[in-house]
Chain A
Amino acid sequence: MTSLRSATLLILAAGFLLVGCGNGGGNRNAAAAGQKVYRHSMDQAPVSVDPTQAATVYSNFIVLNVYDTLYAYKYLARPYELKPNLAAGMPEVSADGLTYTIRLKPGVSYTDDESFADGIGREVVAEDFIYSIKRHFDPRSLSQGAWVWQGRIEGLDEWKEAGSDYAAPVSGLQAPDRHTLQIRLTRPYPQLVHTLTMGFSALVPREAVEHYGREFSIRPVGSGPFKLRRFDTARAALIRNPRFRSEPVDLAAEGYDPTLHDGLGLEAIAGRAPPFVDRVDVDFITEDAARWNSFSKGNEIQFAKIPTEQFDTVLSSKTPPTMKTELEGRYKMLDLVAPEVIFNTFNMDFEEFGYNTDPVRAGRNKALRCAVIKAFDWNQRNERFYNGIAKIYPGIIPPAVPEFDAGMSQVSVIRDVEGARKLLADNGWDSDTLPKLVYGVAASVKQRQLFEQFRGFLSEIGYPSEKVVLEQFATFGDISKAWKQSKLPFVSKSWGLDYPDAENVLQLFYGPNGSPGSNDANFADPEYDRLYEQSAVMQPGPERTAIYRRMNEILVDNCVAIMGLSRTNLLMWHDNVIGYPDRNIVGGFWLRYVDLRQE
């Protein structure tokens, strides 16, 4: 027994010793040292903070705080407006729309890091941008962002085909001097400046990439307002970059509107240079209950997306979302329609629903798809799963973009059970002839519930329940593989917008983007494709908007998908936090403007 006791003591001692190693956090220590510490929360954790992998909202959130992008969106202006960030001004665009000349702000430095020769961060120069974009076209980077510029920048695809040799130049990416950048396009790309706000386009120093190798993905070295001090599955700790350039906030230029932003305390940051807090801790909390407990505790996280099960605790009214009066003074709340579209699409590759060489059957298939769309009850879906506060709209263009058509016919989102039954009967569909419909999901309780509701909708129009079949995939990777290989006849999906331009969602149905591209519907309509190609090179304006809307109508007329819904997120933060925490499109860019009111 003596030996056992010794072993127990040894394990205990080892445990304490190991714990004593710490983890680089230091939230309480920072607070104790009188530093301003803002504790944010996110519902998922990023896996990498390398700009080449900034494909998720979560990665982007951190990347945009550690790195600089040439352009950004104004903090408060809605609809979203572009502004220069690392660039000295908006780009000079040649008359043919093919050459963009961008000047960088001089004197901007990377944070100090051991990867630099003397440990002191050097100046950010135009060559850094060229190097950063080239990385997306180097297969070793495993980039998830190459699609943004693929086929768009002169010589870049050829550079990749030639072996991704960084010493070799790319004709479309030139730096005439240290602070001037020239981008030459293969064809006009009106969304280019939007792509230069994305985390993908962040400027990275070559020295750091080479110094850290693959671990560059967790050891970022940028010129943004914060430095990453800790990053793991539970938290990212960001500390103020002491060398961040001084750029006092001009509230009016950021889109401040007293009628919209009154009460947020934003006036306190006017004329001051961000960042305003010494440290930001971003806690990654996937469990709603844990997130709410931490938020409502008072001394832990100061920001949370409100879990749906807490709506009754927080809201006195859902339409519009209104916070209970007893919570005023303790919290602030914001309801934001997410720039996304949730939709279900038929895969037109499957001849039992989609394209069919037999024109009669093709017609019957269209009637079948239209009947399924008529059977779908968006309002019930909204009530059951989104607390009745999501936005429902016809077509694929969501309210978050300026091309949204509020006047579009609502017929495609209004349930019509009788109309659906009639369509089926008129086209010779009955319980015997209706084909099996396989509904694929990544396994989860919620996805199962969504499926059961969908099956219930269809049973009301006479679709036999045994013919509406659930296929579950263990992981997102597995279902993504099925989508990319065009193996699922019915795809249930949500798409977050990369930039506020309807082109980003309309490309989801562009024929050449078929599997393994983003067109999971494998929709291929000559008129649609022609209009897409026509609009793809047009600058924003009424003519382009008209084309976008026509494309939207084509999708609705062809009954290719059940569209669409955008969730409304309810965001809450502690009253002493000064900020406008909208991460939509803007990503984590707004974090630099967060301040804390001293109690």
Chain B
Amino acid sequence: MELAQFAIRKLIGGIPLVIGVTFISFVLMVYFGPDKTYELLGKNPTPEQIEEVRHQLGYDRPFFVRYADYLQELVTLDFGHSDSTGERVSGLLVRTIPVSLALTAPGFILGNALGIVLALIAAYHRGGWIDKLIMGGAVVGMSISFLIAIVAFQLIFSSSYGLNLFPVRGWDVYSLADYVRYVTVPTLATVFVALGYNTRFYRAVIVEEMTRDHVRTARAFGARPWKLLYKNILKNSLIPIITRIMFSIPLVVISGSLLIESYFGIPGVGKVTYDAITTGDQPVLKAVVGLTAVLFVFTLLLTDIMYKMVDPRVSLK
């Protein structure tokens, strides 16, 4: 009952957040974003045709009427049709988000899981050569741009100039084997870059926890290293770890990964979002921004519930 009340309170409290995000983003779209009119015109337009296109796009309607429509679309989850492709926005997202999710999930999970493990090892050996080795590797991962990592991994694992083990591009996924074929190289590139950031962050959190009295006490009692790391340190470090992981999820789900999708020819939501931004496809942008805001509200709720799960001292009131 307490949880339900908390959830309802939290969701209601999220409404101003959604309104704020959607309002600011809509102002940016309307007054600062690309004017789609000029993307849709023929080669030799007349002023009348320019006005016709503006009318068809609804650009000649008052701002607040358009914004009210936006909110209604968000409530009904009906964002109409893409101004570029004509495809129903809901259909577009249903088609592309699962692909992006399937593409980014392994890298996201592995990047975080390995990051935590490496951070635990590095923190335990703080100042020693193992710590320096892991942190050195993390710096390498952070220093290399994602784009270069993608090109290099594609060249090494997929091209005829390298090992030629995986496809360069495509997403013809009909079985688990197909999935592994197509997702492996993008995942390796993602993990390579994400690991650096994750390891450094988690190590800092864990090192701080290691200085606590209860850890010193456990050590004094002769706790074995892995038990100490898992039970006494990791469990008590979970709040910032959960925060980092949870707040990455909406971006992973909705935004996908433009670079990965472009280089590996994967029809995910990242490319769709990028195209919508660069061409001013407002129906798609409205959906992506609005849904991301809503997802963040749910993430906030889930995060608070997870805090309570890992730390009973946290109150939901």
List residues of A whose CB falls within 8 A of some B CB: 1, 3, 8, 11-12, 14-16, 18-23, 25-29, 47-48, 50, 53, 55, 139-140, 142-147, 150, 214-218, 232-235, 283-287, 289-290, 293-294, 296-298, 300, 474-478, 480-481, 484, 498, 507, 513, 516-518
Identify the stretch in B19-27, B200-208, B275-283 within 8 Å (CB) of chain A at 4 or more residues: B275-283
- Smallest CB-CB separation from A218: which chain B residue? B87
When A232-B267, A283-B169, A484-B50 are in contact, do A147 and B159 touch as well, CB less than 8 Å? no
Known pairs A216-B86, A284-B265; list 10 more (Cβ under 8 Å): A14-B101, A18-B102, A19-B173, A142-B40, A146-B49, A234-B171, A234-B271, A475-B279, A475-B280, A484-B45
In this complex, which of B42, B56, B95 has the most chain A Cβ atoms within 10 angstroms of its Cβ?
A: B42
Q: Are A297 and B168 within 8 A (Cβ)?
A: yes
Task: Pick the contact of B266: A50, A234, A476 (CB < 8 A).
Answer: A234
- Smallest CB-CB separation from B230: which chain A residue? A1
Question: Which residues from B are CB-within-8-Å of A144?
Answer: 40-43
When A47-B84, A140-B56, A517-B46 are in contact, do A481 and B172 touch as well, CB less than 8 Å? no
Question: Which residues from A are CB-within-8-Å of B271?
Answer: 233-234
Q: Are B267 and A233 within 8 A (Cβ)?
A: yes
Question: Which residues from A are CB-within-8-Å of B81?
Answer: 214-215
- Smallest CB-CB separation from A22: which chain B residue? B174
Convert B19-58 into 0s and 1s, putting 1 for each residue whose CB lies closer than 8 angstroms to a CB of A: 0000000000000001111111111111101101101100
B235 CB within 8 Å of chain A: yes
Question: Which residues from B are CB-within-8-Å of A147?
Answer: 42-45
CB distance from B107 to the nearest CB of A (A): 11
Q: Are A476 and B43 within 8 A (Cβ)?
A: no
Q: How far is the CA of A215 from the CA of B92 in the complex (A)?
A: 11
Q: Are B261 and A12 within 8 A (Cβ)?
A: no
Within 8 A of A (CB), among B187-204: none
Top 7 nearest A-B pairs by Cβ distance?
A: A217-B86, A18-B98, A232-B267, A480-B38, A147-B44, A25-B172, A144-B42
Q: How far is the CA of A143 from the CA of B42 in the complex (A)?
A: 7
Question: Which residues from A are CB-within-8-Å of B109?
Answer: 8, 11-12
B232 CB within 8 Å of chain A: no
Q: Are A16 and B179 within 8 A (Cβ)?
A: yes
Within 8 A of A (CB), among B97-153: 98-99, 101-102, 105-106, 109, 113, 151
Question: Which residues from A are CB-within-8-Å of B37?
Answer: 477, 481
Q: How far is the CA of A474 from the CA of B278 in the complex (A)?
A: 8
Q: Are B279 and A484 within 8 A (Cβ)?
A: no
When A293-B155, A475-B279, A481-B37 are in contact, do A26 and B42 touch as well, CB less than 8 Å? no
Task: Pick the contact of A293: B40, B98, B158, B170 (CB < 8 A).
Answer: B158
Within 8 A of A (CB), among B279-317: 279-280, 306, 309
CB distance from A524 to the nearest CB of B (A): 16
Q: How far is the CA of A505 from the CA of B55 in the complex (A)?
A: 30
Question: Which residues from A are CB-within-8-Å of B309?
Answer: 3
Task: Pick the contact of B265: A285, A296, A513, A518 (CB < 8 A).
Answer: A285
Question: Which residues from A are CB-within-8-Å of B161?
Answer: 293, 296
CB distance from A506 to the nearest CB of B (A): 13
Task: Pick the contact of A27: B35, B45, B172 (CB < 8 A).
Answer: B172
Q: Are B84 and A48 within 8 A (Cβ)?
A: yes
Task: Pick the contact of A294: B34, B40, B168 (CB < 8 A).
Answer: B168
Question: Which residues from B are CB-within-8-Å of A233?
Answer: 261, 267, 271-272, 275
When A16-B179, A215-B88 are in contact, do A290 and B265 touch as well, CB less than 8 Å? yes
Convert B234-246 into 0s and 1s, putting 1 for each residue whose CB lies closer than 8 angstroms to a CB of A: 0100000000000
Question: Which residues from B are CB-within-8-Å of A478?
Answer: 34-35, 38
Question: Which residues from B are CB-within-8-Å of A284?
Answer: 265
CB distance from A281 to the nearest CB of B (A): 9
Q: How far is the CA of A150 from the CA of B44 in the complex (A)?
A: 10
CB distance from B280 to the nearest CB of A (A): 6
B5 CB within 8 Å of chain A: no
Question: Which residues from B are CB-within-8-Å of A140?
Answer: 56
Task: Pick the contact of A48: B42, B45, B85, B170 (CB < 8 A).
Answer: B85
Q: How far is the CA of A235 from the CA of B35 in the complex (A)?
A: 27
Question: Which residues from B are CB-within-8-Å of A287?
Answer: 262-263
Write 22 A-B pairs (CB below 8 A) sorted by A numbering. Answer: A11-B109, A12-B105, A15-B106, A16-B176, A23-B172, A26-B174, A47-B279, A55-B43, A139-B53, A139-B56, A214-B81, A234-B267, A283-B170, A289-B154, A290-B154, A293-B168, A296-B159, A300-B170, A475-B278, A480-B38, A484-B50, A507-B44
In this complex, which of B155, B265, B271 has the most chain A Cβ atoms within 10 angstroms of its Cβ?
A: B265
B14 CB within 8 Å of chain A: no
Q: Are A484 and B172 within 8 A (Cβ)?
A: no
Question: Which residues from A are CB-within-8-Å of B42?
Answer: 55, 143-147
When A16-B176, A29-B174, A235-B265 are in contact, do A477 and B39 touch as well, CB less than 8 Å? yes
B211 CB within 8 Å of chain A: no
- Smallest CB-CB separation from A25: which chain B residue? B172
B217 CB within 8 Å of chain A: no
Q: How far is the CA of A216 from the CA of B86 in the complex (A)?
A: 8
Q: Are A290 and B85 within 8 A (Cβ)?
A: no
Task: Pick the contact of B41: A25, A218, A484 (CB < 8 A).
Answer: A484
Task: Pick the contact of B86: A48, A289, A297, A477 (CB < 8 A).
Answer: A48
Q: Are A218 and B44 within 8 A (Cβ)?
A: no
Question: Which residues from B are CB-within-8-Å of A55?
Answer: 42-43
- Smallest CB-CB separation from B84: which chain A residue? A47
CB distance from A307 to the nearest CB of B (A): 13
Convert B243-279 into 0s and 1s, putting 1 for each residue whose CB lies closer than 8 angstroms to a CB of A: 0000000000000000001111111000110010011
B76 CB within 8 Å of chain A: no
When A217-B85, A234-B266, A516-B45 are in contact, do A27 and B170 touch as well, CB less than 8 Å? yes
In this complex, which of A27, A232, A286, A289 has the most chain B Cβ atoms within 10 angstroms of its Cβ?
A: A232
When A21-B98, A296-B160, A516-B46 are in contact, do A475 and B168 touch as well, CB less than 8 Å? no
Question: Which residues from A are CB-within-8-Å of B91?
Answer: 215
Q: How far is the CA of A538 from the CA of B265 in the complex (A)?
A: 48
CB distance from A157 to the nearest CB of B (A): 10
When A8-B109, A48-B84, A481-B35 are in contact, do A19 and B50 touch as well, CB less than 8 Å? no
CB distance from A202 to the nearest CB of B (A): 16
Question: Which residues from A are CB-within-8-Å of B159?
Answer: 293, 296-297
Q: Are B160 and A297 within 8 A (Cβ)?
A: yes
Question: Which residues from B are CB-within-8-Å of A19?
Answer: 98-99, 102, 173, 179
B164 CB within 8 Å of chain A: yes
Question: Which residues from A are CB-within-8-Å of B98?
Answer: 18-19, 21
Question: Which residues from A are CB-within-8-Å of B99?
Answer: 18-19, 23
Question: Which residues from A are CB-within-8-Å of B41?
Answer: 144, 480, 484, 516
In this complex, which of B39, B44, B102, B161 has the most chain A Cβ atoms within 10 angstroms of its Cβ?
A: B44
Q: How far is the CA of A518 from the CA of B91 in the complex (A)?
A: 36
When A12-B105, A146-B42, A484-B41 are in contact, do A293 and B173 touch as well, CB less than 8 Å? no
Question: Which residues from A are CB-within-8-Å of B263?
Answer: 287, 289-290
Q: Are A286 and B36 within 8 A (Cβ)?
A: no
Task: Pick the contact of A477: B105, B164, B280 (CB < 8 A).
Answer: B280
CB distance from A339 to the nearest CB of B (A): 15
CB distance from A330 to the nearest CB of B (A): 11
Question: Which residues from B are CB-within-8-Å of A218?
Answer: 85-87
Within 8 A of A (CB), among B207-229: none
Question: Which residues from B are CB-within-8-Å of A481?
Answer: 35, 37-38
- Smallest CB-CB separation from B112: which chain A residue? A8
Question: Which residues from B are CB-within-8-Å of A300?
Answer: 167-170
Q: How far is the CA of A15 from the CA of B182 in the complex (A)?
A: 14
Q: How far is the CA of A285 from the CA of B306 in the complex (A)?
A: 42
- Smallest CB-CB separation from A286: which chain B residue? B262
CB distance from A327 to the nearest CB of B (A): 13
Convert B60-90 into 0s and 1s, putting 1 for each residue whose CB lies closer than 8 angstroms to a CB of A: 0000000000000000000001001111100
Q: How far is the CA of A53 from the CA of B40 in the complex (A)?
A: 8
Q: Are B170 and A289 within 8 A (Cβ)?
A: no
- Smallest CB-CB separation from A7: which chain B residue? B306
Q: How far is the CA of A480 from the CA of B45 in the complex (A)?
A: 12
